[in-house]
Amino acid sequence: MSTDTTPAEPASKIDLPDHVAGDAGSIPSFDCTFRIARFDPEQDSEPHWEEYNVTMYGTDRVLDALHKIKWEIDGSLSFRRSCAHGVCGSDAMRINGRNRLACKTLLKDLDTSKPIIVEAIKGLPLEKDMIVDMEPFFQSYREIMPFLITSGHEPTRERLQSAEQRQAFDDTTKCILCAACTSSCPVFWTDGQYFGPAAIVNAHRFIFDSRDEGGDMRLEVLNDKEGVWRCRTTFNCTEACPRGIEVTKAIAEVKQAILQRAF
């Protein structure tokens, strides 16, 4: 074993002279205006707009701007967010009139020359600022029984499934229950009685699972007055989904499954 006498490598093998390096690698910053629908249930009878000017960077997302406003300008701004990386589905909101996750919407993809409009998602009872009561959403989610239903003894090994069988419902396993789809649906906005795309997507995930035996019960639930037949195929849900689930296609597949079962 020999002792290492060579000097440690420098952090960068290329030392750029100052006149070449400049600030080429720095992140561009820009000023942008946020117009946010604020609602305080203790003072307001309905939401009102407030504008905030912030200096943001090209790598920032809408969520970063909301953080900056909350932490540096107005601490009373309320919104939900948990993971902040597009997995938990907490921060769905209406940004420039489209339902998206604030943590997945980059400022550089929006038109920062105009105010960026941020509102709570529509169709669910507003509680404060961006926070809505998600109970109606989760109630219809619970009604479609989003869990594995089987009969007989539990097998001693895992329930096997072929790649093709898994492929049938692969798309709908991606749902993170952010409610961006359901709250973008015009049918849901009217009276909130429609099951909504998210509940149907999660029913689809089990109906088309070869291991599940509760498909008939779920199809029966969705064959209701407020079930899949209220879908008008406006594709708002498919456009809103931050996970890229083909929601309208999944609803159409459930419609087909109900028809095949009926005839």
Which residues of the shown chain bind other proteins in the complex (CB under 8 A)?
41-42, 125, 133, 135-136, 139-140, 143, 186-187, 190-193, 220-221, 223-227, 229-230, 232, 255, 258-259, 262
Q: Which residue has the tokens 């690698």?
A: 25
Of 48 and 232, CB closest to other proteins: 232
Which residue type is seen at 70?
K
Chain centroid, CA 18 distance in Å: 44
- Separation CA 162–CA 215 (nearest Å): 19
Of 27 and 259, CB closest to other proteins: 259
Of 110 and 145, CB closest to other proteins: 145
**DSSP of 178-226:** --TTGGG-HHHHHHS-S--HHHHHHHHHHHT-TT---HHHHHHHHTSTT
- CB of residue 207 to other proteins, shortest distance in Å: 16
Of 173 and 193, CB closest to other proteins: 193
- CB of residue 258 to other proteins, shortest distance in Å: 6
Of 84 and 252, CB closest to other proteins: 252
Question: Which regions of the chain does DSSP assign to beta strands (E)?
Answer: 29-38, 48-57, 92-95, 98-101, 116-119, 126-128, 131-132
Helix 247-262 to helix 215-222 angle, to the nearest 10 degrees?
100
Q: Which residue has the tokens 């912030």?
A: 54
- CB of residue 89 to other proteins, shortest distance in Å: 20
In 3D, which of 115, 94, 121 has the Cα closest to residue 34?
115
